Structure 1
Amino acid sequence: MNRSKLNWLLAALAAITLTSCSGNEEQTMAKPEPVHFESGDECHVCGMVISNFPGPKGEAITEKEQHVRKFCSTKDMFAWMLQPENENRDHTLYVHDMTQTEWEHPDDTALIDARDAFFVVGSDRSGAMGPTLASFATEEAAHGFMMEHGGEVLKYSSITMEHLNTGMAKHGMDGMDGMDH
């Protein structure tokens, strides 16, 4: 094969490879829409019925299989997500923006991308089984909540397993008090 034919073949192969790669990038970049919580949905971590509890909820959708895992609290979502086998997998995560919905019965129209959210850790507000992480679309809203309910404002990427344990000793199972479910 002469040199010009070989160069042409390599250039064509490179063009095909680049075209197919860019098409795949566009496919994986399109994230799935949030899924509404239904009355019988159970938490992927603890198995409790999600709608029986106050506070923000979470969900994880595996981008490749579009498998949805729902959580009764943002705390359970983080507990699952921070497990070594889940940390590096491609998931789209949603949580409730608590400035757009009420604490007792979060509305699914207020679901936002968890990776873009701000969280208040260690507040006096409880979700399923006690302390939870209050989620907000803006840092300003999270700070306003923190001023009223205590805690610390963190970005998604800053939350660790240690933050999930914050307040457990302080609150114990206090979050269960007064729940009429």
Structure 2
Amino acid sequence: MSLSRAILMGWGVLAMLVLSGCNQNTENAQIPAPQEPDGDAMGYYCGMLVVNHSGPKGQIFLKGRDDPLWFSSVRDTITFTLLPEESKAIRAIYVNDMGVATNWNQPQPGAWVAAKDAVYVVGSDQSGGMGGPELVPFSDKAAAEQFQAAHDGTLYTFKDIPQSAVLGEPDMSPEKRKRGS
């Protein structure tokens, strides 16, 4: 084998390695768009139909899956990210944007925001999909503040949500919880 042919083969192998690395990075960088729950979307933890629950919902896309895991509440969605036994191979997390939603019970198609980009009202008087306390997400801070003024609670970013607000014992007293309006 001539020296020039060996150099060409070496460059060819190097180019294939670089390109295969680029393909992996491109594949990992592709973030799926949010989907809409259909009549078959089952809540990951409750095993019930997501569309039968009121309030904001969530979805998590994992690596190696085309379809999201569905959650009947935002609280359940965030819980998944905190539990050590759940997959950390998360590609995307979406929650209903309640500043865009016109109906608390069933947010309309397209009312989604990336969970890490949302502002959350925690500790409001609004109940989530399973009747418990809900973390209410908004893509717009002003909308979150307006909701907070009407329904109480505290504003948090995704990374600052207290673990106790997600995994703590819910206050189910009638004075604290009321059904969403």
Q: What TM-score comes out, normalization by structure 1 length?
A: 0.81
1:121·1:166 contact (CA, 8 Å) conserved in 2? no
Q: How far, CA to CA, are the matches of 1:125 and 1:178 in structure 2?
A: 5
Structure 1 residue 72: Cα displacement: 0.7
2:81·2:88 contact (CA, 8 Å) conserved in 1? no
- CA RMSD of superposed structures (Å): 3.0
How many pairs align?
179
Q: How far, CA to CA, are the matches of 2:179 and 2:158 in structure 1?
A: 29
Runs of 4+ that moved beyond 3 A: 1-15, 170-179
Q: How far, CA to CA, are the matches of 1:78 and 1:160 in structure 2?
A: 11
Q: How far, CA to CA, are the matches of 1:50 and 1:40 in structure 2?
A: 8
SS at match of 1:133: strand
Unaligned runs of 5+ in 2: none
Matched residue, 1:108: 109
Q: How far, CA to CA, are the matches of 2:99 and 2:128 in structure 1?
A: 16
Matched residue, 1:136: 138
Q: 1:178 to 1:146 in 2, by over 3 A?
A: closer
SS at match of 1:24: helix
Matched residue, 1:54: 54
Q: How far, CA to CA, are the matches of 1:65 and 1:178 in structure 2?
A: 33
Matched residue, 1:93: 93
Map residues 149-168 of structure 1 onto 2, 5 A cutoff: 149-165=151-167, 168=170
Structure 1 residue 82: Cα displacement: 1.4
Task: Give yes or no for the alignment of 1:23 onto 2:11.
Answer: no
SS at match of 1:124: strand
Aligned AA (1:20): S
Cα deviations by residue, 1:11-30 (Å, 9 ceiling, x for unpaired): 55443322221122112211
Q: Sequence identity of aligned pairs in percent? A: 27
2:55·2:180 contact (CA, 8 Å) conserved in 1? no
Cα deviations by residue, 1:40-80 (Å, 9 ceiling, x for unpaired): 43311112332222210001121322242111110111112
Q: How far, CA to CA, are the matches of 1:177 and 1:140 in structure 2?
A: 23
Q: Which moved more, 1:10-19 or 1:103-112?
A: 10-19
Q: 1:171 to 1:132 in 2, by over 3 A?
A: farther
Task: Give yes or no for the alignment of 1:118 onto 2:119.
Answer: yes
Cα deviations by residue, 1:101-147 (Å, 9 ceiling, x for unpaired): 12122112112211211111111111122211101112222222222
